[in-house]
Amino acid sequence: MERNLHAYSLIKTLFILIALATAACHREVALPPLPLSNITLTDKFFDVWPTSPTRAFVVGDRGKVLLTEDGGRHFKRIDIGTQLGVFAIQMADDQNGYLCGQDGLVMRTRDGGKSWERLNSRTNLFIFGLSFPDALHGFFVGDRALVLSTTNGGESFTKRQLQRLFPQELSDYALPYEEPVLYSASFLDVDHGWVVGELGRIWATENGGKSWQEQQQPLVAQWKRPLGPGDDARFADFILPTLFSVSFRDQKHGAACGLEGWVVQTDDGGKTWQFAHQSDKPGAAPDTLVPGAAQIPARDPLFSIDLFAGDQGITTGLTGTVLRLQPNGAWAHDPSVPAIPFPLSQVRFFDAQHGWIVGYGTILYTEDGGKTWRQCQG
């Protein structure tokens, strides 16, 4: 009996040892919840719209809409119910705002950005830019020369294609120049606005979009690039660089930027446009580059431009390029912006001091007029 008890104890000990070993060895690896960061390196931010010195909306790829109310120290993600890319946003006032994006995406908020409703844009084309001079009147521009306008806050849209109509005999040759992409719009009031796009197109309206005039013609004379063997002289004004962004500070003064790092400016409401010069650093003499001349190295394209605070101007582009408008009219590389080798899609200032730059994986904020910039971490 006693021997059986001993044997039982021994067996029990062995089992405990084996159980301990098994429990210790065969553990399931833990799957902790993944950290959810609002700003990651793989984010692509396309636009920013400040509504106060410290409050701003940022939009980007995969339906991302972020809101900060403390100058970019914290961001809150707003679920807009889509994964489509959001290309542009504008708050017309405290409560009413609009955004646009991929596949004809147009949305509206009536509660200061808390919730967004999708509007029927009646198109699947990409809509790249928008401009609302007030809560009811607005314009959207996009692929294939698309212009959508609304006069009732998005309840209905008027759709049109803003493109040159070629004579019948040129139609076969004009195919590459038809339906250029329109990237940006700038409306100062319900009547006056400008739209820019592919192949250097600049269109202006003085009657709320009822009629449009092409304005890029003065630039053609300045553009000295000779026609190539395959170029058709009848379309010589279509070899201008694509313009990606336009900004007007008043009805006279405006600027647009685009491919090969070109900035074009007007001081007469667009009757005449001129290519601007660049300088290596602030205070340096402007370059003497002839517009259209081959550049080595090729300059980065510029994607956004903002004229603000009376006499200030800033533009951003590929590989972290940031240029500031100088008193002498040239655009100089801004050394105060951190070196970020990624595309910077949009720059916007709320006032003379507070401004934002957004791009791939990047949100920058300044509260001293651009002397220093802070990288927001989300």
Instruction: Please tell me the distance from the alpha carbon of residue 99 to that of residue 15, in angstroms, as a whole number.
Output: 67
Residue 167 is encoded by which pair of tokens?
Answer: 């004579």
Q: Which stretch binds other proteins (CB under 8 A): 16-24, 114-122, 204-212, 347-355?
A: 16-24
Nearest one of 5, 8, 75 to 43, comparing CA atoms: 75
Nearer to other proteins, 6 or 159 (CB): 6
From the list 272, 319, 328, 377, which residue makes contact with other proteins (rule: CB under 8 A)? Answer: 319
CB of 100 to other proteins, least distance (A): 10
310 lies in the binding site for other proteins (CB under 8 A): no
Strand 302-308 and strand 138-142: pairing? unpaired
Q: Is 293 in the site for other proteins (CB under 8 A)?
A: no
Q: Which of 102, 114, 96 is nearest to 155 (CA)?
A: 96
Classify the phi-psi angles of 8: left when phi > 0, otherwise alpha if psi is within -120 to 50, otherwise beta: alpha
Single residue of 241, 270, 313, 355 touching other proteins by CB under 8 A: 241
> Is 14 a residue that touches other proteins (CB under 8 A)?
yes
Task: List all residues 6 or more positions away from 4 whose beta carbon is below 8 Å from its beta carbon.
Answer: none
Q: How far apart are CA 275 and CA 284, in angstroms?
A: 18
Nearer to other proteins, 176 or 338 (CB): 176
Nearer to other proteins, 53 or 176 (CB): 176
CB of 244 to other proteins, least distance (A): 6
Q: Which is nearer to other proteins, 253 or 299 (CB)?
A: 299
Total binding residues toward other proteins, as defined by CB under 8 A: 70
Chosen residue from 298, 329, 372, 375 binding other proteins by CB under 8 A: 298
Q: Is 243 a residue that touches other proteins (CB under 8 A)?
A: no
Residue with tokens 């489509």: 84
Helices within 136-240 (DSSP H only): 217-222
343 is a contact residue toward other proteins (CB under 8 A): yes
Each residue 185-224 as x (binds other proteins by CB under 8 A) or -, in order, gives: -------------xxx------------------------
Residue identified by tokens 């300044």 is 366
144 binds other proteins (CB under 8 A): no
> Per rule CB under 8 A, is residue 159 in the interface with other proteins?
no
**Choice from 1, 29, 165, 233 touching other proteins (CB under 8 A):** 29
Determine whether 230 is exposed, middle or buried from the number of CB atoms within 10 Å of its CB (0-12, 13-18, 19+). exposed
| Shortest spacing between CB 327 and other proteins, in angstroms | 27
What is the token pair recorded at 45?
């931010």
Kindly state whether residue 35 participates in binding other proteins, applying the rule CB under 8 A. yes
318 touches other proteins (CB under 8 A) = yes
d(CA 41, CA 143): 28
Counting contacts by CB under 8 A, is residue 20 touching other proteins?
Answer: yes
Say whether residue 22 binds other proteins (CB under 8 A).
yes
Structure tokens given for 372: 């220093």
CA distance 71 to 56: 8
Q: Which residues, in sequence order, are CB contacts of 330 under 8 Å at separation 6+?
A: 276, 277, 278, 279, 285, 286, 287
Dihedrals phi, psi of 345, to nearest 5 degrees: -80, -35
Asked if 347 and 365 touch (Cβ cutoff 8 Å), the reply is no
CB of 242 to other proteins, least distance (A): 6
Residues in the chain: 378
**Footprint of other proteins on this chain (CB under 8 A)?**
3, 6-7, 10-11, 13-14, 17-18, 20-22, 24-27, 29-31, 34-37, 40, 42, 44, 46, 61-62, 83-85, 87, 102-103, 124, 126, 128, 176, 181, 183, 198-200, 225, 231, 238-242, 244, 259-260, 292, 296-298, 300-301, 303, 318-320, 341-343, 345, 359-360
